[in-house]
Amino acid sequence: MLRPILRPFCLFCLVLCAVAAAAPAPACLPDGFVIALDVGHTLRSPGATSARGVPEFRFNRALAAVVADALTAAGFGKTFIINGDGRIASLQARVAAAGRRHAELFIAIHHDSVQLRYLDDWTTQGASHRYSDRFHGFSLFVSEKNPRFADSRRFATLVGTALTTRGLTPTLHHAEPIPGEGRALLNASLGVYRFDDLIVLKTASMPAVLLEAGVILNRDEELTLTDTAYRQRIAAAIVAAAQQYCSGVSGR
């Protein structure tokens, strides 16, 4: 007595399963996707000093503002900046701020330096500064100690791909086997490194990536990194990566 009922029902189930399997992946809903942009360093501890004497923190804050505007314009309206005033208390406070607002991505914005052995002196506009034109380019760091390491690496790969597609090149000097470097390269062509003990990366509960946008000790690259159009190119790459990443997150 049950067979005539079960057979049509099972056929109906199979049809539903086939339709579900053929359905496209859900589109990203950027208006509900929360991205934290962390401005590296502080006013009191401003990071590296550029070839023309400008503290890294200024570069970080300026780029973070451009990236935030680009993400917001692309629909990621819940994007927010951490440490915009340069007065945050600690590295842990940065991660805590991201957690309180339920960030789904944590992006630390930095600009790069080189080891002391590569620095030379020069004088510009009557002032003496240190510089190194030996290295240039971006780099991306992730931590294997982050609980979402696979997702962190995936996002870093997306950012690296988007940057290189837009004509930027990675620097590989952080892999050099010398004191202060020796970082493991996960993808040399995209400038993705593993740096397990960076606090903001390893303690974040969400996927976390640190971007070194370029080498501000390089005299030519310093000028490039102050150019608004160049900052917008970096921001466009981050937007493209965020869109791809968001589309791949289950349930979006």
Comparing 63 with 12, the larger pLDDT belongs to 63
* 116 pLDDT more than 70: yes
Give me the mean pLDDT over the 155-182 stretch. Answer: 98
Entry pTM? 0.89
Could you tell me which residue, 98 or 23, shows the higher pLDDT?
Answer: 98
Question: In the chain, pLDDT over 90 holds for what percent of residues?
Answer: 87
Q: Check whether 139 has a pLDDT greater than 60.
A: yes
The ranges assigned to domains in the chain are 30-114+129-248
In this predicted structure, the answer to whether residue 214 has a pLDDT above a threshold of 60 is yes
Question: What are the residues whose beta carbons fall under 8 Å from the beta carbon of 215, sequence distance 6 or more?
Answer: 111, 112, 113, 114, 132, 135, 136, 137, 171, 221, 222
CATH fold for the domain made of 30-114+129-248? Aminopeptidase (3.40.630)
Written as one string, the DSSP assignment of 1-54 is --HHHHHHHHHHHHHHHHHHHHSPPPPP-GGG--EEEEE-S-SSS---B-TTS-
Dump pLDDT digits (tens) for 191-213: 999 999 999 999 999 999 999 99
Q: In this structure, are strands 127-131 and 120-124 parallel, antiparallel, or unpaired? A: antiparallel
Query: Average of pLDDT values for 225-243?
Result: 98
- Residue 1 scores a pLDDT above 70: no
Residue reference for tokens 């049509």: 8
- pLDDT, average across residues 172-176: 98
